[in-house]
């Protein structure tokens, strides 16, 4: 599911079931909570088994949809603000991660296998560096925008005293550390041998570099997006 589709879907949920019809929002709490928890479990537990980076990112996207949905559960401006912030953050870091995979994938489908990424820091340091930033952000590790994306969702759940989904989300976040950090560990490992690499174009390097900079910049200055998200959320409440 594309980021744009997710944004439209979750904005509709927040607008229709929370803002427009607050009297029925409680009826949707448990179904939405179950969907969010199910997404967290399935996305993370399947992603952790993948040795293909494309599939790993695809399944982890299911988990991120769960985090986004958690922000809707409180039915508050704070929660919807967290949802919008998460969508914006996910758009940047997920785009960057897939862009790196695409850049490396010019060598063929086998380049998506994790084994191909062994020693990438020695072979293609720029790609390995930006991929490390995106992996850290997707895992929710500071100082990246992904850290604040999860933090704001967790804070909204705490404020609303929604404990069970919060506990599941924290546990699944810890689980996700394994498969995201594994990519970094593999890239840092000594390469098995010389591998012919295609040269990275200037435009591709610029786009990847910009995405990485934005990922870190918004981690250091989250208010840049948070203010916009808060204003947008307030229009619906």
Burial 189-228 (b: 16+ CB within 10 A, else e): eeeeeeeeeeeeeeebeebbeebbebbbebbeebeebbee
Nearest to 75 by CA among 27, 126, 138: 27
Q: Are 233 and 84 in contact (CB under 8 A)?
A: yes
Torsion of CA 49, 55, 56, 58, to 10 degrees: -130
For the chain, the structural domain boundaries read 3-235
Q: What DSSP string describes 85-108? A: HHHHHHHHHHHHHHHHHHHHGGG-
What is the model's pLDDT at position 109? 65
- Distance CA(1)–CA(228), nearest Å, equals 24
Cis peptide before 143 (omega within 30 of 0): yes
pLDDT in tens, the chain (237 residues): 455 665 566 566 656 655 554 544 667 789 989 999 999 999 999 999 999 999 999 999 999 999 999 998 998 899 989 999 999 999 999 999 999 999 997 656 678 899 999 999 999 999 999 999 999 999 999 999 999 999 999 999 999 999 999 999 999 999 999 999 999 999 999 887 666 566 788 899 999 999 999 999 999 999 999 999 999 888 766
What is the model's pLDDT at position 133? 98
Q: What is the pTM of this model?
A: 0.91
What is the model's pLDDT at position 233? 82
What is the model's pLDDT at position 235? 79
What is the model's pLDDT at position 24? 44
């Amino acid at each position: 599911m594309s980021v744009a589709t997710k944004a439209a879907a979750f904005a509709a949920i927040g607008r229709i079931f929370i803002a427009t019809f607050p009297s029925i929002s409680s009826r949707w709490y448990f179904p939405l909570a179950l969907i969010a928890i199910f997404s967290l479990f399935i996305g993370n537990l399947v992603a952790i088994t993948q040795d293909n980076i494309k599939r790993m990112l695809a399944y982890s996207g299911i988990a991120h949809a769960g985090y986004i949905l958690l922000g809707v559960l409180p039915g508050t401006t704070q929660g919807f603000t967290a949802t919008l912030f998460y969508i914006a953050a996910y758009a940047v870091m997920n785009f960057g991660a897939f862009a790196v995979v695409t850049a490396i994938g010019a060598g063929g489908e086998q380049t998506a296998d994790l084994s191909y990424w062994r020693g990438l820091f020695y072979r293609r340091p720029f790609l390995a560096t930006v991929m490390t930033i995106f992996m850290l952000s997707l895992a929710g590790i500071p100082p990246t925008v992904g850290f604040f994306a999860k933090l704001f969702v967790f804070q909204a759940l705490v404020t609303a005293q929604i404990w069970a989904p919060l506990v599941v989300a924290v546990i699944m976040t810890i689980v996700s550390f394994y498969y995201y950090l594994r990519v970094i560990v593999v890239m840092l490992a000594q390469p098995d041998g010389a591998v012919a690499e295609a040269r990275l174009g200037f435009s591709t390097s610029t786009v990847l570099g910009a995405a990485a900079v934005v990922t870190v910049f918004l981690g250091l200055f989250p208010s840049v997006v948070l203010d916009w998200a808060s204003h947008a959320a307030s229009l619906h409440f």
